[in-house]
Structure 1
């Protein structure tokens, strides 16, 4: 079957993801949530594709199945629960642990099982499983953005599926399981082999709404965590990695971290090895030999800022005094008023606003504003509005709309005539 999306042999992982997401959106092939960018697409027909899981031979031979919590895999989670098998779901972003066991309520009906297979049900009916738990996972179901008939897989760019499999391999939860990916037919394409690395998870079966593809992939699956591809930032992001690293260090394994964290350290947008967005200012500055936090037009992160000579001891106090006296703070650009909309020029001789003398509303300046103070009204002094014979003063109402004439709809003044 000819691929719906053509991929250039020199395309990066990020470009492949963008093509798939754009194609699915353009052809309206996805259900909620939309848009599908930066997600595992919840494609139309996902339930039909998930129905093929129960037809696999490995499905009848296994008791424990690990299924990712993505929306299009909801039908696969339901099939596992209906078959009475143990459903294992990874902890979202591996914040508190590795796997969770979904335990439906006693005497659960089909509707209850369907609820347990949803994202809300995963939160309500999940029980954490420790790293020392004796489990054997023979079937792993993952979501993908793109797959190839050779078994190569590209996720959404965060690397969690690869990391979860490597962590399960490290604790002995998997030996040689069958990995299944459920996608739309348009997500099956030719992926360049040079994009696949040692930590990438390959798939054995591809399930689409119309096909069941056995890949017979020869790319080896990860046998554990490749610590050289991680750095301290990733350990802080996923605390459970610290515990795994401690266990492997005691076992005498090499747990030396890499300097740059290539491989698994990826951002949500797909940054990282194989997922570059293109040249960026920070990357250009880094390649030029500059500080990694210093890009053109930006102060280096963590470096002490040099105080200018004009900002020496007492300069700000002198500038404040000059401002109150009606002058301008020369030599202090930060204290001068910029010329622009709603402001006045701050050059020599330009007017300087005094908050205590302003008679207009806050934030409203005018070119014709003059410095004058209105004397404070005493308690016995009447209101500063002239009373004319034959007119009465309407009571003041705060924030009341102005009265409108019932005949001409003209806005009337606040004075009303008698009779």
Structure 2
């Protein structure tokens, strides 16, 4: 989707080799970290730490990405009766909205999974979110690795950057929305191992990084993207993501990478 310098892929491969020692395999993708964001030992503790951070910032409206390591967080939100949004896998079916009141007693753990979300959450068109949903206080995502200065890299498809850009475009993500990456400690690069100059204009930098053992606050302020960078996308990519295609038509079908 977005061309990336080879250094990003080199770092991914190095981190993935360490992650394999603590990761939990996916039922469909096994150990193919290029296809999913892995769960890992300690994600439950990380979820508790993340909730403490959100409480400190009075966060009430949430978006949580569909990453495996965020199952415990979604379960805790359900148990706390906190509604949240979740993008579908690859954003190919847009966004889901879960009201914990719709989850039967004893089903929170299942409802927090991708299969459970499909059963209990409602698919919400972007136009409905734009008209009716309050702005987001916090957006939480997993990742392949994060640098100390807030660059969060996923699998290399750019989906979280697109989710931010679309929601920023319709007003749900704002300058005040807290962006948090939840990762294992091996995925938060030490300062000495973090290559400089990797942050691009389209990257959605994070404000905090939460691991099972610590909460890292990103120092300094780096402006997040304010819109969608259409020239970085192909028409096929746009048409594969319904809310993105909606905005593309609204913007007058701007020039794309393959035009």
Q: For 1:91 and 1:178, how far apart are their aligned partners in 2?
A: 21
Report the structure, 1 or 2, having the larger helix content: 2
2:96 corresponding residue in structure 1: 100
Q: Is the 8 A contact 2:65 2:142 kept in 1?
A: yes
Cα drift, residue 60 of structure 1 = 6.2
Structure 2 unaligned spans of 5+: none
Change (3 A) 1:210 1:173: same
Higher deviation after alignment, 51-60 or 195-204: 51-60
1:17 corresponding residue in structure 2: 12
User: Which of 220, 229, 245 is matched with 2:248 structurally?
Assistant: 245
After superposition, where does 1:402-413 map in structure 2 within 5 Å?
none
Structure 1 unaligned spans of 5+: 1-9, 250-254, 262-419
1:275 corresponding residue in structure 2: none
Considering Cα pairs closer than 8 Å and 6+ residues apart, tell me whether 1 or 2 has the greater RCO.
2
Report the structure, 1 or 2, having the larger strand content: 2
- Between the two proteins, the alignment pairs up a number of residues equal to 243
Change (3 A) 1:66 1:178: same
1:152 corresponding residue in structure 2: 151
Which has the larger Rg? 1
CA RMSD of superposed structures (Å): 2.1
Q: Is the 8 A contact 1:41 1:72 kept in 2?
A: yes
Change (3 A) 1:107 1:248: closer
1:30 corresponding residue in structure 2: 23
Cα drift, residue 180 of structure 1 = 0.8
Indicate the SS of the match to 1:174. Answer: coil
Q: Is the 8 A contact 1:147 1:153 kept in 2?
A: yes
For residues 348-380 of structure 1, the C-alpha deviation after alignment (integer angstroms, 9 at most, x for no partner) is: xxxxxxxxxxxxxxxxxxxxxxxxxxxxxxxxx
Q: Is the 8 A contact 1:139 1:179 kept in 2?
A: yes
Q: Is the 8 A contact 1:149 1:215 kept in 2?
A: yes
Change (3 A) 1:206 1:50: same
1:280 corresponding residue in structure 2: none
Q: Is the 8 A contact 2:103 2:111 kept in 1?
A: no
1:230 corresponding residue in structure 2: 233
1:182 matched to 2:182? The reply is yes
Higher deviation after alignment, 49-58 or 202-211: 49-58
After superposition, where does 1:168-179 map in structure 2 within 5 Å?
168-176=167-175, 177-179=177-179
Change (3 A) 1:75 1:246: same
